[in-house]
Amino acid sequence: MARSGSTPFSFPEFRGATRRLVLWNLSAYFLLALVQLASSGWAAQLFNGLTFTPSHFLHGALWQPFTYSLLHPPSAILGTALELLSLWFLAGFLENYHNSGWITGLYAISVLGTAAAATAIYACGHTLGFAAGAIPLYGCFGGIFGLLAAIGTLHGDVEFMLFPLPIGIKARHLVVVLVLVAVAMLFFAGQRMYAFAELGGALAGLVYIRMAPRRGLSFGLSEQWYGLRNRYYRWKRRRAARKFEVYMRSQGRNVRLDSKGRQIDDDPNDKSRWN
């Protein structure tokens, strides 16, 4: 894909996958805020049950990789606003070049890759005898890192404003800076899991843009499903053709059918062919 030049420091159009992702996160935020308003105890239990904690996941909480990215503490208004604005900006920028299915697939794979990386460093920490800092993960930071990795790879020459400084930085340089910050955080036990999870989200985003179909993961899966279904129907047709050939031989007729169930003419001049 051709690389883009600089872009104005403005938010892209609020549409498609970008709008859905932001509204899902925003709806989850206000829903949790309403639960907290009704009962702070229920809200705390709900939050703890849906955040991603590797130890809980390994002991059966299999839903957590799919729910943690939608959770934002109701008290963290500024942090939630910055995350959702970043999600809007990055996803909206990519949606100018890719369809909604591709954006949704990239975000989902990055979120799952973040959870997988956190689980891996937690399990390795117990095996190798070092503390990984089993902190619960929540928020859409994993998806944001995957979107950043995609922009840095596919649109590396695009310039972003280095907030809050009024200067621009190229996308590829911004990704390198954030990766180096995450690598530096690996040296601190309390931040090790969080940093490794961020790197996992970026890596998952890179794997996705290299391997995913151009029209999105859902389109690729549907194509594979229909291909599997069609292969099944062709197999049934071949099996029916073989049974019919056996039946015709029992009737004293030699009939051969191709894979599509059509008769094969051994002798085109044979006027007694079966129709």
Helix (H, G, I), strand (E, B) or coil at 137: strand
Question: Any idea which fold 16-212 has?
Answer: Rhomboid-like fold (1.20.1540)
Structure tokens at 59: 């002991």
Cα torsion angle, 233, 101, 78, 174, sign:
positive
pLDDT for 118-166, tens place per residue?
Answer: 998 888 876 666 666 568 899 999 999 999 999 999 998 888 776 666 7
Which long-range contacts link 59-65 to residues 24+ away (Cβ below 8 Å)? 64/115, 65/111, 65/112, 65/115, 65/116
3-state secondary structure of 169: strand
Concatenating the DSSP letter of every residue in 34-100 gives HHHHH-HHHHHHHHHHHSB-HHHHHTT-TTHHHHGGG---TT-HHHHHHHHHHHHHHHHHHTTTS-H
CA dist 61 and 73 (Å) reads 20
Domain boundaries of the chain, sorted by first residue: 16-212, 226-264
Instruction: Give Rg (Cα) of the chain.
Output: 27
Report pLDDT digits (tens) over 169-228. Answer: 888 888 898 889 888 888 876 778 888 899 999 999 999 998 876 555 555 556 566 667
